[in-house]
């Protein structure tokens, strides 16, 4: 019988063990020592401490959580540290999925007669959100759900085969159906718009969480009913311009008896005419106000409802920013009812700016795009923080992202790359400034999910950080021929050890929440469901102190760093990268889902 040592098993893991030896290993009896050595080798090749229970794929493992929470939860984890949730839920649902379902994309993989018919087959590539590695590929009939390849009975394996029971017992069953049962859209039996012509463009923007109207390029007039020619000046030059998403109730009609059967259970309801800040009037509904409570001039903001997989409708919700909050909602240090700010601050609909006692809460609200930022959103965050800085009633700010998947993934590349390569300063014409660099009140980041690229740069401008267990952190710009020129080269090496800062900046590889805690990048790591309460707990601790003393302490610490000259240097040197051919090749490769071909110029 052949004997296999640790070196042989390492060769097996690396795929270099001779085939004859592999055959001998497969035929030989299984033994505990070989399994233990196998797991020991895998454990030595990852940068995190969670205990590997069983490998799923060459890059994915089922692990028992360790570290700060110490709850022993069993999750699927990538070699890079990205987590995919409970091992009994299909991990593919938490991955990025690139689908090849047309002839052009399939032809990149299949050649000639091998090319399948895209009318019945599609290829799905499952990609890790943390490191970008391809985890698995499957070719399936169109509409087939992601295959749950392997659900191991871990407790039976450890009990009966290894004879070393795991500490906690988990029910052996597929939890995926429970997760996805609410994903299906409800049956929608009301009239739907016809997606033709200009209407198709309008509703496509709505699917992306953007309310856009036509705007004449010559006279600047906005119009909701699309047409080729401007009724004001006769120009045929126009573009789709993004609305602020804010407006007021202009009028409404209360419907007591529905003519269409689809509205039968909704009566009474109100068909509301909303006058947008741009002057456009739009007929919709206010979803959180009863018809009897509507008022002319009531401030509202857009929200979106996905009613079918093809149609997302713009609707509205009430906005309290022009109303004075009641005394019970403002003042004091404790958490009260969260309300929108009572001062007129111009922020887009994708940025929420709210007040909870002495705490300002700024939320990046574009979860369908991983909270990627547009220029308007970036300026909106700055406007909210400027208001926070000036308001003596606000003592601490919490910055977070909507949803559980992403805190912020940086600028939306579709908008950012043309701006950056053309020299647009994205609102930072003063090269001595970066985001939050002149805000001297404490800012707490509550990080949920991915915090990468510009999200990480924003994080570097905050003072205290609370992260969910599933958070990941990274500066991946170099992987696409770019540099993080939002202050990261100056701030990050001052916040964590030099060698680790260089690892983040030069490799582009992300790190886990646990690793971020270990290197001092974040203050606390908590379960995702406790994130905002933990951030609020930190805010309340600060609010117990003298606000002038707190602000002055931060101002002294920030000014003493002397960051301004570094910011200027960063801007000057970064521009040569943005002007390069590599800066064009990287984003194009990202868009094409391929490896970039850099030339170093």
Asked if 477 is an active-site residue, the reply is yes
Q: What is the pLDDT of residues 520-537, one digit of tens each?
A: 999 999 998 899 999 999
Model-level pTM? 0.50
> Which has the higher per-residue pLDDT, 527 or 263?
527
Q: What are phi and psi of 116, to 5 degrees?
A: -75, 165
Q: How high is the pLDDT of residue 427?
A: 57
Quote the pLDDT of residue 119: 79
The verdict on whether omega for the bond into residue 586 sits within 30 degrees of 0, i.e. cis, is no
Q: DSSP of 66-126, one letter per residue?
A: -TTT----EEEEETTS-EEEETTS-GGGGSEEEEE-SHHHHTTT--GGG---TTTEEEEEE
Greater confidence, 27 or 327?
Answer: 27
Residue 24 has pLDDT above 90, yes or no: no
pLDDT value at residue 141: 82
For the beta carbon of residue 182, count every other beta carbon within 10 angstroms: 8
CA quadruple 107, 113, 114, 116: dihedral sign: positive
Q: Which of 440, 374, 435 is nearest to 409 (CA)?
A: 374
| pLDDT higher than 50, residue 108 | yes
Token pair listed for 315: 């609707």
Range with the poorest average pLDDT among 111-120, 291-300, 392-401: 111-120
What length is written for the chain? Answer: 601
Q: Looking at residue 335, what is its pLDDT?
A: 41
pLDDT at 571: 86
Round to whole Å and give the CA distance between 343 and 125: 47
Catalytic residue among 210, 477, 518, 570: 477
The least confident of 26-35, 218-227, 400-409, 516-525 is 26-35
Comparing 10-24, 148-162, 411-425, 541-555, the range with the smallest average pLDDT is 411-425
How far is 513 from 533, CA to CA, in rounded Å?
18
What is the average pLDDT across 180-196?
A: 72
Tell me whether residue 194 is one of the annotated catalytic residues: no
Q: Six-digit token pair at 249?
A: 């109730």
Per-residue confidence (pLDDT) for residue 536, from 0 to 100 = 94
Burial class (CB in 10 A: 0-12, 13-18, 19+), 156: exposed
* Cβ proximity of 249 and 286 under 8 Å: yes
First to last CA, the chain: 58
pLDDT at residue 493, as a whole number? 94
Identify the pLDDT of residue 324.
36
Q: Where are the beta strands (DSSP E) in 405-547?
A: 406-408, 443-447, 450-452, 464-468, 472-474, 511-512, 524-526
pLDDT band at 225 (very low <50, low <70, confident <90, very high): confident
Give the tens place of pLDDT for each residue, 557-568. Answer: 999 998 888 888
- Do residues 543 and 395 touch, judged by C-beta distance below 8 A? yes
pLDDT at residue 223, as a whole number: 85
Instruction: Return the closest-CA partner of residue 452 out of 530, 518, 511.
Output: 511
pLDDT tens digits for 293-336? 898 989 999 998 888 878 889 999 887 544 333 332 233 333 44
C-alpha distances out from residue 248 to 209, 240, 278, 314, Å: 20, 22, 11, 15
The tens digit of pLDDT for each residue in 350-392 reads 899 888 889 999 999 988 888 988 888 888 899 899 999 988 8
Nearest Cα neighbor of 544 from 357, 391, 388 is 357
Which one of 285, 457, 469, 518 is the catalytic residue?
457
- SS3 of 301, please? strand
> What is the Cα–Cα distance from 467 to 163, expressed in whole angstroms?
37
The Cα–Cα gap between 142 and 414 comes to 29
pLDDT digits (tens, 9 = 90+) for 41-84: 999 999 888 899 999 988 999 999 875 444 678 999 999 989 99
Q: Which residues pair with 399 in a beta bridge?
A: 362, 445
The mean pLDDT value of the chain amounts to 84
Q: Which domains does the chain have, with CATH numbers?
A: 46-180 (no CATH), 197-318 (no CATH), 327-592 (3.90.226.10)
Residue 207's nearest CA partner among 221, 227, 193, 226 is 193
Of 468, 511, 528, give the one whose Cα is nearest residue 79: 511
Q: How far apart are CA 307 and CA 324, in angstroms?
A: 34
In the predicted structure, residue 498 carries a pLDDT above the cut 90: yes
Strands 472-474 and 511-512: antiparallel
DSSP structural state of residue 266: T
- What ranges make up the beta strands (E) of 432-576? 443-447, 450-452, 464-468, 472-474, 511-512, 524-526
How much is the pLDDT for 327?
31
Query: How far is 59 from 239, CA to CA, in rounded Å?
Result: 46
pLDDT at 130 exceeding the cut of 90 = no
pLDDT at 117: 82
Going by C-alpha positions, the residue among 415, 414, 496, 482 that lies closest to residue 453 is 482
Q: Any idea which residue has 């602000």 for tokens?
A: 551
Looking at residue 329, what is its pLDDT?
29
Which alpha helices (DSSP H) does 146-264 contain, by range? 154-156, 176-180, 197-207
pLDDT top residue among 257 and 154: 154
């Amino acid at each position: 019988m052949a004997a296999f040592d640790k070196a042989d098993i390492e060769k097996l893991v690396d795929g270099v063990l001779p085939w004859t030896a592999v055959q001998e290993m497969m035929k030989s009896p299984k033994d505990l020592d070989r399994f233990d050595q196998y797991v020991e080798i895998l454990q030595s090749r990852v940068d995190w401490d969670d205990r590997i229970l069983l490998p799923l794929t060459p890059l994915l493992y089922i692990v028992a959580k360790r570290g700060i929470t110490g709850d022993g939860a069993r999750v699927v984890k990538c070699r890079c540290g990205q987590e995919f949730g409970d091992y009994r839920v299909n991990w593919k649902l938490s991955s990025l999925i690139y689908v090849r379902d047309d002839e052009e994309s399939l032809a990149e993989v299949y050649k000639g007669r091998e090319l399948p018919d895209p009318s019945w087959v599609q290829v799905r590539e499952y990609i890790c959100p943390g490191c970008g590695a391809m985890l698995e590929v499957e070719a399936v009939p169109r509409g087939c759900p992601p295959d749950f390849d392997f659900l191991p009975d871990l407790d039976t394996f450890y009990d009966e085969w290894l004879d070393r029971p795991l500490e906690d017992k988990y029910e052996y069953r597929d939890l995926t159906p429970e997760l996805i049962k609410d994903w299906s859209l409800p049956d929608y039996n009301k009239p739907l718009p016809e997606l033709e012509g200009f209407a198709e463009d309008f509703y496509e923007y709505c699917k992306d969480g953007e309310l856009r109207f036509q705007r004449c390029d010559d006279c600047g007039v906005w119009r909701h009913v699309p047409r080729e020619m401007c009724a004001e000046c006769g120009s045929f030059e126009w573009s789709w311009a993004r609305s602020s998403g804010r407006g007021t109730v202009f009028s409404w009609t209360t419907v007591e008896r529905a003519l269409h059967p689809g509205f039968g259970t909704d009566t009474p309801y109100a068909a509301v005419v909303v006058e947008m800040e741009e002057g456009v009037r739009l007929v919709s509904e206010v979803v959180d106000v009863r018809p009897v409570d509507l008022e002319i001039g009531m401030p509202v903001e857009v929200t979106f409802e996905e009613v079918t997989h093809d149609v997302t409708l713009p609707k509205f919700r009430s906005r309290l920013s022009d109303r004075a909050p009641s005394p019970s909602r403002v003042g004091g240090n404790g958490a009260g009812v969260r309300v929108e700010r009572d001062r007129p601050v111009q922020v887009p609909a994708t940025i929420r700016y709210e007040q909870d006692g002495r705490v300002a809460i700024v939320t990046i609200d574009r979860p369908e795009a991983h909270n990627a930022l547009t220029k308007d959103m970036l300026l909106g965050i700055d406007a909210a923080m400027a208001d926070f800085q000036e308001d003596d009633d606000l003592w601490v700010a919490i910055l977070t992202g909507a949803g559980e998947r992403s805190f912020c993934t940086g600028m939306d590349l579709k908008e950012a790359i043309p701006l950056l390569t053309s020299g647009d300063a994205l609102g930072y014409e003063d090269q001595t400034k970066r985001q939050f660099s002149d805000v001297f009140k404490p800012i707490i980041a509550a990080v949920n999910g991915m915090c990468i690229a510009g999200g990480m740069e924003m994080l570097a401008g905050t003072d205290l950080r609370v992260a969910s267990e599933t958070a990941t952190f990274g500066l991946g710009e170099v992987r696409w021929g770019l540099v993080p020129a939002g202050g990261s080269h100056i701030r990050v090496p001052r916040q964590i050890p030099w060698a680790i800062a260089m690892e983040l900046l030069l490799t582009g590889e992300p790190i886990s929440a646990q690793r971020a805690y270990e290197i001092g990048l974040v203050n606390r790591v908590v379960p995702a469901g406790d994130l905002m309460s933990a951030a609020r707990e930190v805010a309340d601790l600060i609010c117990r102190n003298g606000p002038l003393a707190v602000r002055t302490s931060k101002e002294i610490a920030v000014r003493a760093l002397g960051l301004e000259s570094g910011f200027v240097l960063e801007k000057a040197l970064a521009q040569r990268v943005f002007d390069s051919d590599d800066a064009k090749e990287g984003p194009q490769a990202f868009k094409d889902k391929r490896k970039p071909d850099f030339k170093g110029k």
